[in-house]
Amino acid sequence: MWDSIQSVFQPTTSPPQLYRNLAVALIGSFVLLALLHRFLGPRGRRWLIAFVTFVGGLYLGLEYFLPVRTAVLWPTAIPNPNPDRGANLLTPGIEPVGIMMSVIGAFTVGLGIYSLCQVHGRSLGQRRPGWHNSLAFFLAMVAMLVFGFWAHYLPKVDEASAVMPVPRAIYEMLFSGLFMPLQAATFSLLAFYIASAAYRAFRIRTAEAGLMMAAAFIVMIGQVPVGAWVTSGLPTTGALAFFRLEALGEWIMTWLNAPAQRGIVFGVAIGGLAMSLRIWLSLERGTFFSEQG
Amino acid sequence: MAEPRAGFWQRLQQIPRYYVYLLMAAVVIWQILFPIPLPIAPSSATQGVYDAISAVPDDKLILISTDWDASTNAETGPQTEAIVHACLQNDKRFAIMNLHPPMGVKLANDIAEQVAEQYGAEYGVDWCNWGYKYGFANVLIAMAKNIPKTIGDDFYGTPVAELSMMQGVEDIESIGLVIEITGLATITETWIGLIQGVYGTPFASAYTAVMAPGYYPFLDSGQMQGMLVGAKGAAEMEALVTRPAKASVIMNVQSWAHVLIILLIVIGNLGFVLARGPRGQGAP
């Protein structure tokens, strides 16, 4: 029985079988969702989501924490795929569960595209202010999709001898020649904004602000080669070496910054644990059920 | 006489922003066209990454997770390039993979292809690209148990199990070092929580300068073997592999840009203090 469950999640290499499985899975999923939607009321849906969330969390938690290689946790009736490595009763399910979660997650990409098309389609159809941005979105998406897929599914050629096929050349132009520089340029504008903002906002109004500015100057200069150049006259060993700007900068990062960051990490981890528990037990109802009344 | 003086100090605090932008642009262009060579000395964090690469046993792979995109390319691109140089100079086989954002896999592939050509390294033998894998933590959990099944096909659509360098690669025990290159928070925590912490796989990282301060505790605790900090880390790694390239130029630019920002802050504060007068009159 265990083998037959496992075989459901094995990748298939035969195209007819793949398409048959895809069709069965899609139709089955839609029928199941339609039935649940038809026969389950809001209360029933809440319980179903809470149950699936709880079982999913319980499975992953138990697989992670349960000890390995004990007779109780690994009955001999079930073949152990990795007898030499850490595994418990739940370990064989990790791979299919991971695939299942990835597939469910992949559907959210489709949902995102649908949502974007809906918003921008409405804006374009009704000629709202800024409709030309929506038009740019559709043109960009269609161009990348068409040429991306076209280039991907072109038959492979010997790269040394062949000229780059037109679809691939257009895709490269769109990706490397347009998209990449646009994204990099947007991010690089930060340098200008930071310079302007630091000049306008950074004022020593208190002693604490002065202390912060001194630390910032040391780190800013210590993190770049000009810092090492400024204090290059100081020896690299001995007590005076500590006063080289790069050494001072590293000292601030490791002795002052790291403990503060460690405290933040601990705080965030405890907060994350509490939040995970609330989500796992479906106590964080505002997240899932606020729309359903 | 007091009024014009105060006006001057006030104006010193209110230099129009387009002058600031112009100054910054001038510094950047000046250093790109006429760079002043500055010394680059590898820090202990960068040396840690290099040593971790050198220490990987020959029968194990280095896994480079390139989770970055064009927005951080100025820092993470040179980091990736310098790390690939270090791997190939030390005759270590490596695999690239990508968890998020998806475009990182192509950008890193282009870099690896160029560097591999310089060393005569062959795809599938010395290095490979596992491609973008959707699922994040699920991918790591599953990969730790079975790499060929979890990864499936590589960047070019070939099953990774068919690549010669992947023969004998089963699970996370086949990985000698994970190097995470990213501009995104939380990915490191996932690697450390699910891979380094559980299986003891050596871990090193490369971050953008702005996010690196948050990861010093992991370096301090020994969970990270080393860390490249922004373009500085990349330039230091370039110095270690004796291949000065883009990051070294960037560090020249960044050096003088930092000096300019510091000067601007000093000028602003000078105006602020002097406009107040000896007893704080006229403070804005």
pLDDT of residue A165: 83
Q: Is A229–B106 a contact, with Cβ atoms under 8 angstroms apart?
A: no
Interface check for A267 against chain B (CB to CB < 8 A): the answer is: no
How far is the first Cα of chain B from the last one, in angstroms, to the nearest whole number? 20
Which of A87, A98, A195 lies nearest to residue B138, judging by beta carbons? Answer: A98
**Strands of chain A, DSSP E:** none
pLDDT of residue A73: 55
Work out the minimum CA distance from A220 to partner chain B, whole angstroms: 6
A191-195, B61-65, B205-209, range with the lowest pLDDT: A191-195
- Paired with B129 in beta bridges are B96
Which of B24, B110, B214 lies nearest to residue A191, judging by beta carbons? Answer: B24
A66-70, B95-99, B143-147, B216-220, range with the lowest pLDDT: A66-70
Q: Is B39–A232 a contact, with Cβ atoms under 8 angstroms apart?
A: yes
| Dihedral sign of CA atoms B196, B201, B204, B205 in order | negative
The domain tally of chain A equals: 1
Which of B69, B139, B214 lies nearest to residue A183, judging by beta carbons? Answer: B69
Q: Is A196–B220 a contact, with Cβ atoms under 8 angstroms apart?
A: no
A14: in domain: no
Contact predicate B155/B108, CB 8 Å: no
Interface of A with B in 46-105 (CB under 8 A): 60, 81-82, 85, 87, 91, 94-95, 97-99, 101-102, 105
Interface check for A21 against chain B (CB to CB < 8 A): the answer is: no
Contact predicate B230/B212, CB 8 Å: yes
Mean pLDDT calculated for residue range B175-187: 93
Work out the minimum CA distance from A91 to partner chain B, whole angstroms: 9
CA-CA distance, B136 to B189, in Å (whole number)? 12
A84 backbone dihedrals φ, ψ, rounded to 5°: -85, -15
Q: Is A184–B254 a contact, with Cβ atoms under 8 angstroms apart?
A: no
A269: in domain: yes
Contact predicate A191/B21, CB 8 Å: no
A74: in domain: no
Helices and strands (H and E) in chain A: how many: 12, 0
Residue B145: pLDDT over 60: yes
B6-30: pLDDT as tens digits: 588 888 888 999 999 999 999 999 9
For chain A, residues with pLDDT lower than 70 are 1-11, 68-86, 156-162, 285-293
Which of B171, B229, B272 lies nearest to residue A203, judging by beta carbons? Answer: B272
Residue B40: pLDDT over 70: yes
Interface check for B200 against chain A (CB to CB < 8 A): the answer is: no
Residue-range definition of the domain harbouring residue A267: 206-293
Question: How confident is the prediction for chain B on average, in pLDDT?
Answer: 91
Neighbours of A36 (CB within 10 A): 12
Residue type, B53: I
Annotated domain spans of chain B: 2-34+250-276, 44-244
Band (pLDDT 50/70/90 cuts) for residue B82 is very high
CA-CA distance, A200 to A222, in Å (whole number)? 23
Q: Which residue has the tokens 């230091």?
A: B236
Chain B residues closer than 8 Å to A81 by CB: 146
SS3 B114: helix
Chain B residues closer than 8 Å to A105 by CB: 134-135, 138
Interface check for A181 against chain B (CB to CB < 8 A): the answer is: yes
Q: Which of A97, A199, A204 to mutate to test the interface with B (most CBs of B within 10 A)?
A: A199
Q: Residue B74's closest chain A neighbor by CA?
A: A184
Q: Which of A9, A223, A244 to mutate to test the interface with B (most CBs of B within 10 A)?
A: A223
pTM of the model: 0.85
pLDDT of residue B55: 97
Q: Residue A209's closest chain B neighbor by CA?
A: B269
pLDDT of residue B150: 86
Q: Architecture of domain B44-244 in CATH? A: 3-Layer(aba) Sandwich (3.40)
Interface of A with B in 98-127 (CB under 8 A): 98-99, 101-102, 105-106
Q: Residue B156's closest chain A neighbor by CA?
A: A152
Q: Residue B76's closest chain A neighbor by CA?
A: A184
DSSP code string of B123-184: BTTTEEEEEE-TTTHHHHHHHHH-HHHHH-B-TTS-BGGGSGGGTT--SGGGEEEEEEEESS
Which residues touch B213 (CB under 8 Å, ≥6 apart)?
Answer: A253, A257, A261
% of residues, chain A, pLDDT over 70: 84
Residue B135: pLDDT over 60: yes
H/E segment holding residue B197: helix B197-199
Which of A106, A191, A203 lies nearest to residue B134, judging by beta carbons? Answer: A106
Interface of B with A in 108-127 (CB under 8 A): 110
Residue with the bigger pLDDT between B55 and A38: it is B55
Q: Is A95–B24 a contact, with Cβ atoms under 8 angstroms apart?
A: no
A186: in domain: no
Which of A11, A186, A225 lies nearest to residue B251, judging by beta carbons? Answer: A225
Integer CA distances (angstroms), A50 to A32, A166, A221, A289, B61, in order: 18, 51, 53, 10, 41
H/E segment holding residue A68: none
Band (pLDDT 50/70/90 cuts) for residue B283 is very low
